[in-house]
Homo-oligomer: A and B are copies of this chain.
Amino acid sequence: MNAMGFERILGGVCAPKGFLASGVACGIKAEGKPDLALLYSEFPAAAAGVFTTNEMKAAPVKLCKEIVDGPCARAVVINSGCANAMTGKRGDDDAHAMVRFAEKALGVGAGQVLVASTGHIGEYLLVDKVTSGIKQAVDELSVGGNTDAAKAIMTTDSYPKELAAEMEIGGKVVRLGAMAKGAGMMHPNMATMIAVITTDLALPRERMSDWLKKSVEWSFNRITVDGDQSTNDTVLMLANGAAFPDGHVLTDEEADLFFRVLCWLTGRLARSLVKDGEGAGKLLRVVVNSARDDVEAERVARAIANSNLVKCSLYGGSVNVGRIAAAAGSAGVSIEQSKLAIYVGEHKVVEFGEPVEHDPRDIEKMTRRGEVEVTVSLGVGLAAAQILTCDLSKEYVAINAGE
C-alpha cells in the first residue's frame, strides 16, 4: 500500500471481482478494427452515470440517462466508429434495439444494460452489424477481456486506457477498475470521452452517484484538448458488491479511502486522455491561485488553457507570457494588473504585472521535457483552480482536416 492507502495493480474493468469483458470487431469501423465492447457483472450492480451537457445529446446518451436510474445494472455495451448522434427518431430506435438485443443475448432483465456510442456524428447505426457483434461479444466474455474491451472503444486514441487499484476495507481486498477513451472534442463536460469504472464494493446508489459526480468534476471536467464539446460523453460506474458476499457497512474512514482512490483513478485517466489528445506532444498544467473565489479561478484557468495562441507557442517549444496574460485578461474576471504574478515552473517571469528578467533557457529546458506548469497568481484572494491541456499542433490540424 502506498502513502495514500492503496496500491495500483495491473488490469482494467475486470480487476474487481465478478466482472467479465470482451471486445470484438463487428464491422462498423473499416479494416476490421475492434469496435464493440461488452462489460458484464456476474452480480446485479448499482449504477451511476455522468453525461455530456451538450444540447445535441446523442441517442445512446438520452437512453442511458434513463436506464442508469433503474433499480440495478448488469452490463454495459459500447460501440465505436459511429456516435449515433443527430440521428433523430431512427437513432433513438437504433439505440433501443442495441440495448434490447444485448439484454436478450445476456439473458438479463429489461433496463439492466447501459449503452454508449462514440465516433462519427450524423450517421445512422448499422444495427445488423451491432447485433451480430453483441452475439459474438457475449460468447467471448472473460475475466481477461478488459484490454480487448478498452481497445474496442477507441477512436483516434493512440493506445487503450486502463487503470486499476486495490485497497483494504473491512479486512477484505476491494478493487476499482476502469477503461476510458478520449482524443479530440475534449473539453469541460467531458467532451467525446467514454469511461467505465467498476468496483466490487457494494455502494448505495445515491452515494456512488454523488462521488462519481465529484470525481468527474475534478478530473474529466478539468481537462481540455480543443475546447470542443462532444455529443456523446458518458462516464458510467458499476458497483457489484462481490468483495462482500455478506454485506458490509462502510465506516467514515473507509468511505474516505474509497473516494480518494476513485479520485486518483479518474484523475489519472483524465491526464492520460489529455496526454493522448489529438496531435498532442506536450502537456500544460495551468494553475490559477490567489483568486477571489473558485469560479473566478477556474474561469481564468480555462481561458488560458483554451487559448489557441498559448497552445501554439507551447507547440513551438516556448511559453509566451504575454499570450497567457492576454488570455487571463479576456476571461471576464476583474484583474488588477499590478498584483499579477506569473510563474513557469519554479521561475517567476512576471511580478507586479511586469516582466521579470529570467534565463529563457530554463524554460526551454522545461518545454523540451514535454510538461510545463504555468501558475498565474491574481493576488486578490485565496481561491485556486487547475486545468490540464495540451499543445495545438500541426498534427491536430491535419487529423481534423481529414488528411
Contacts and interface: CB of A to CB of B under 8 A. Distances in A.
B329 A231 contact: yes
Interface string A293-329: 0000000000000111100110111100111011111
A120 B313 CA distance: 13
Given A309-B400, A352-B88, A354-B86, A55 B323 contact: no
Contact of A227 (B53, B308, B322): B308
A54 interface: yes
Interface in A61-108: 83, 85-91
B88 A326 contact: no
A185 B327 CA distance: 10
Nearest to A337: B56
A307 B184 CA distance: 12
A56 B397 CA distance: 30
Interface stretch (A6-14, A129-137, A238-246, A388-396): A388-396
B394 A397 contact: yes
Given A86-B354, A315-B401, A316-B402, A54 B326 contact: yes
Contacts of A335: 55-56
Contact of A55 (B121, B228, B334, B393): B334
A287 B328 CA distance: 29
Given A54-B329, A187-B330, 18 more contacts: A54-B326, A55-B329, A55-B330, A56-B329, A86-B353, A86-B354, A88-B337, A88-B353, A121-B326, A184-B309, A189-B330, A226-B308, A228-B326, A229-B327, A315-B397, A393-B397, A394-B394, A394-B397
Given A90-B354, A329-B54, A400 B308 contact: yes
A255 interface: no
B397 A123 contact: no
A360 interface: no
Residue of A91, A185, A230, A322 with most partner-chain B CB within 10 A: A322
A121 B309 CA distance: 13
Interface string A363-403: 00000000000000000000000000000111011111111
Identical copies in the complex:
2
Contacts of A401: 312-313, 315-317
A-B pairs, 9 with minimum CB distance: A121-B322, A316-B401, A56-B329, A312-B400, A229-B330, A88-B354, A55-B329, A55-B335, A122-B322
A338 interface: yes
Contacts of A109: none
A170 interface: no
B313 A400 contact: yes
A355 interface: yes
Contacts of A328: 55-56
Contacts of A352: 88
Nearest to A308: B226
A350 interface: yes
A229 B392 CA distance: 17
Nearest to A333: B55
A108 to B, nearest CB: 30
B313 A122 contact: no
A55 B185 CA distance: 29
Contacts of A393: 397
Contacts of A89: 354
A231 B320 CA distance: 14
8 contacts: A55-B331, A88-B337, A88-B353, A227-B227, A231-B322, A308-B396, A313-B400, A392-B397
Nearest to A230: B326
A185 B122 contact: no
